[in-house]
């Protein structure tokens, strides 16, 4: 019953939007259209939260699939959809979502992270650097987690000089990052032979 009410409300709002557009002889008022769209999306997101809270992941996934088609550049939508797919053992589709998001957003320094993180968590460390190394050199820097994942991947691969370089780059960007400093010190000790080689 709740789903019927939700779909009815969504359908009604869609009809209102279509009606508003058709009744305008000239271009519709952008502010009005934006307000209607925001209202629809708020309702969809609220319903997604309710479905998630009661564990109705299939409906959440269906809704996020729809949102991903509407907003292919939205990081939160793509990453949430992929995470839910992974959580429900639909890894192939999750990876397809991550790959598509990266390919459709080549100028976004955050775009490769979900795919790279997927590989990292699967211990496919060699697949991480080709995705993340290019974006740390972009003018618009990615989130620090990109540097962290890349540095850890290099360390797991035994490429300690590269791991050191990436940690140093991150520390230049975020000098207050004590965890990054500790990680750099660990890598330096491995380079000096003071610690065991990294486990792959």
**What's the CATH number where 61 sits?**
1.25.40
C-alpha 164/C-alpha 188 separation (Å) is: 7
Looking at the fold, whether 66 and 132 belong to one and the same domain comes out as no
The larger pLDDT score, comparing residue 183 to residue 9, is at 183
**What's the CATH number where 178 sits?**
1.25.40.10
Computed over every residue of the chain, the mean pLDDT equals 88
Out of 63, 78, 105, pick the residue that ends a domain.
105
Looking at the fold, whether 115 and 191 belong to one and the same domain comes out as yes
What pLDDT is attached to residue 22? Answer: 54
Which of 36-45, 111-120, 138-147, 188-197 shows the lowest mean pLDDT across its residues? Answer: 36-45
Contact (CB, 8 A) for 166 and 147: yes
C-alpha 36/C-alpha 38 separation (Å) is: 5
Out of 51, 74, 105, pick the residue that ends a domain.
105
Looking at the fold, whether 132 and 189 belong to one and the same domain comes out as yes
Residue at 12 is within a domain: no
In the predicted structure, residue 79 carries a pLDDT above the cut 80: yes
Looking at the fold, whether 92 and 137 belong to one and the same domain comes out as no
Residue at 6 is within a domain: no
Residue at 200 is within a domain: no
Per-residue pLDDT, averaged over 173-177, amounts to 97
Residue 63 lies in domain: 40-105
Q: Total domain count for the chain?
A: 2
What pLDDT is attached to residue 4? Answer: 44
Residue at 73 is within a domain: yes
Matching residue, tokens 């991550």: 98
Residue at 149 is within a domain: yes
Per-residue pLDDT, averaged over 52-75, amounts to 92
Closest CA to 48 of 6, 101, 16: 6
What pLDDT is attached to residue 45? Answer: 81
Q: What is the pLDDT of residues 112-158, one digit of tens each?
A: 999 999 999 999 999 999 999 999 999 999 999 999 999 999 999 99
What pLDDT is attached to residue 1? Answer: 45
Residue at 24 is within a domain: no
Q: What interhelical angle do 113-121 and 144-156 show, nearest 10?
A: 30
Looking at the fold, whether 66 and 133 belong to one and the same domain comes out as no
Residue 5 C-beta-side C-alpha neighbours within 13 Å: 4
Looking at the fold, whether 86 and 120 belong to one and the same domain comes out as no
Within 8 A by CB and 6+ apart from 97, the residues are: 68, 78, 81, 82, 85, 114
Out of 105, 126, 142, pick the residue that ends a domain.
105
Within 8 A by CB and 6+ apart from 83, the residues are: 94
Strands (E), the chain: none
């Amino acid at each position: 019953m709740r789903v019927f009410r939700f779909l009815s409300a969504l359908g009604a709002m869609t009809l209102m939007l279509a009606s508003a557009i058709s009744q305008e002889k000239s271009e519709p008022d952008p502010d009005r259209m934006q307000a209607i769209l925001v209202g629809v999306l708020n309702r969809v997101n609220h319903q997604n939260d309710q479905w998630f809270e009661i564990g109705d992941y299939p409906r959440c996934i269906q809704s996020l699939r729809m949102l991903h088609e509407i907003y292919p550049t939205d990081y939160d939508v793509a990453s949430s959809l992929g995470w839910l797919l992974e959580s429900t053992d639909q890894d192939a589709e999750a990876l397809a979502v991550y790959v598509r998001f990266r390919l459709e957003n080549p100028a976004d320094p955050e775009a490769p992270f979900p795919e790279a993180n997927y590989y990292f968590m699967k211990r496919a460390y060699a697949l991480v650097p080709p995705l993340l190394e290019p974006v740390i050199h972009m003018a618009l820097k990615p989130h620090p987690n990109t540097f962290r994942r890349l540095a850890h991947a290099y360390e797991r691969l035994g490429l300690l000089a590269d791991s050191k370089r990436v940690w140093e780059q991150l520390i230049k960007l975020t000098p207050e990052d004590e965890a990054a400093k500790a990680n750099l010190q660990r890598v330096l000790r491995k380079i000096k032979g003071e610690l065991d080689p990294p486990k792959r």
